[in-house]
Amino acid sequence: MGQLLQLKESSTSIQAPPLCCCLVCESDQIQEFLNLGNTPLANRFLEPGRVGEPEPEFPLRAGFCERCHHVQLLDRVPPGAMFDHYLYVSSASETLTKHLHGLASTVAKRRKLRSRDLVVDIGSNDGTLLSGFARHGVRTLGVDPAANLAPLAQANGIETLTAFFGEQAGGRIRREYGPAAVITATNSFPHIPDLGDYLAGVERLLAPDGVLVIEAHYLMDILEQRAFDTIYHEHVSYWALGPARRLLQRHGLEVVDVERLPVHHGQLRMWIQRAGAPVKASVEKLESEEKGRRMDQLETYQRFAAGTRLIKRDLRRLLDKIRYEDKTIAAYGAPAKGMTLLSYLELGPETIDFIADRSPLKQGRYTPGSHIPIVPPERILQEQPDFLLLLAWNFADEVMKQQREYHKKGGRFIVPVPEVRIV
Ligand SMILES: [Zn+2]
């Protein structure tokens, strides 16, 4: 089925195992339901001097396992090619920062954390979540494979280990720091190709009464919102509660509570402990809701794919019409998901003049494959394009509030998902 795709320019020797079978249950009965074509890596933003050089592209296809119902990618890119150098910074979004600090307070309160307790964040990025925990006076340690992010975290006073988390890293942290009262993984769990090694690391590191808190984009929300652009190479898994529970149980872990959260475009927060801890009613309730929505049926995903093709058709038509009328279009936000949309719709600088993004790490660079320049948000009021396509549509409210002046001067927003609309 899938295969290991070699990246010529890969600067690391870490490679994912070939995808012969399901990431969760190892069955080979995975059915493809959506093909987004060959796309470049979503976070591989180009420096000006590198535009025009050959760029690696990889097939982007999603599939559904008929045995355990896990939704996953069918093709694999070596993780080192994606995570060595990472341009997405948690603190760039106010909404996300607020959310992560809220999570830290909730966990600290619920677990009654004390100063000697250790909190380890996997995929700690620039340390935004851990800086929330640090306010509660606990010991913190970040783990992230992106070498460029550790200095940012350390500048915030967050000690960070540059590594992929797995059995080895989990064992090392346990030896050097002791067991973790809390392990958090916000938005890194969908990235993990070798779930067995990852959870072996959790088993090594987690204190007997410790808690693992995972937040991941939730498959039910992806389906409801037609968020096809959540699909890109970094996200090898699209989690529902059912397959996650079955996977965790094999590692002696149990989902003891679940919550649905409105951040991003909808997230699932799972509270996980070693087997034997009491399980709240929320868990059975949500799993039966998943069944009610037929998330264990291939047809559900085929319908989602049809909706995705509809967005492509409608948005393409709208943008072509605007350009035909000699009006201008820029975009707001250069999140990784936006690269899926640009690439699937084959949009480039002939349609979109520029993309405004607040992250200084992205400004001055070009989008992978489509080569649209990324500029600071000030350019929007300077140029006042007729339309602003919201690639970060999950933060639409935040962006529209920031860009009130643009709207007042006659500018219009295009929200692409779940259906194309002009605001
Ligand atoms: Zn499976």
pLDDT band at 94 (very low <50, low <70, confident <90, very high): confident
CA of 48 to the centre of ligand 1 (A): 42
List the single range of 94-98, 186-190, 197-201, 237-241 with lowest mean pLDDT: 94-98
Can you read off the two tokens belonging to residue 47? 């420096």
User: Residue by residue, what is the 3-state secondary structure of 19-76?
Assistant: CCCCCCCCCCCEEEEEEEEEEECCCCCECHHHCCCCCCEEEEEEEEECCCCCEEECCE
Q: Domains in the chain, start-ordered, CATH in brackets?
A: 90-280 (3.40.50.150), 299-422 (3.40.50.720)
Model pLDDT for residues 206-249, shown as the tens digit of each residue: 999 999 999 999 999 999 999 999 999 999 999 999 999 999 99
Structure tokens at 373: 């320049």
> Is 115's pLDDT higher than 70?
yes
Q: Band the pLDDT of 56: cuts 50, 70, 90.
A: confident
- Residue 6 pLDDT class (50, 70, 90 cuts): very low
Q: How far is Cα of residue 378 from the mean position of the Cα atoms in its chain?
A: 27
Ligand 1 centroid distance, CA of 28 (Å): 8
- Exposure on the CB side of residue 417, measured as CA atoms within 13 A: 28
Q: Is the pLDDT of residue 3 over 60?
A: no
The CA-based angle 178-182-188, given to 5 degrees, is: 110
Q: What is the pLDDT of residue 113?
A: 96
- Average pLDDT of span 296-316: 97
Nearest to 268 by CA among 188, 189, 210, 214: 214
Between the CA of residue 39 and those of 43, 58, 231, what are the distances in Å?
A: 11, 5, 11
Whole-prediction pTM: 0.89
Query: Can you tell me the distance from the alpha carbon of 406 to that of 353, in angstroms, rounded to the nearest whole number?
Result: 16
Q: What's the gap in Å between 173 CA and the centre of ligand 1?
A: 31
d(CA 104, ligand 1 centre) in Å: 33
CA of 197 to the centre of ligand 1 (A): 17
Which residue did the predictor score with more confidence, 187 or 14?
A: 187
Q: What is the mean pLDDT of the chain?
A: 91
Residues 163 and 306: their CA atoms lie apart, in Å, by 39
Q: Once rounded to an integer, what is the mean pLDDT over residues 298-321?
A: 97
Give the closest residue to 72 by CA, choosing from 106, 116, 27, 24. 24
Residue pair 265/221 in contact (Cβ under 8 Å)? The answer is: yes
Q: Which pLDDT score is estimated for 5?
A: 37
69-92 per-position pLDDT tens digit: 999 999 888 776 666 666 666 676
217 Cα to the center of ligand 1, angstroms: 19
pLDDT at 358 over 80: yes
pLDDT at 16 over 80: no
pLDDT at 361: 85
Q: How far is the CA of 30 from the centre of ligand 1 (A)?
A: 7
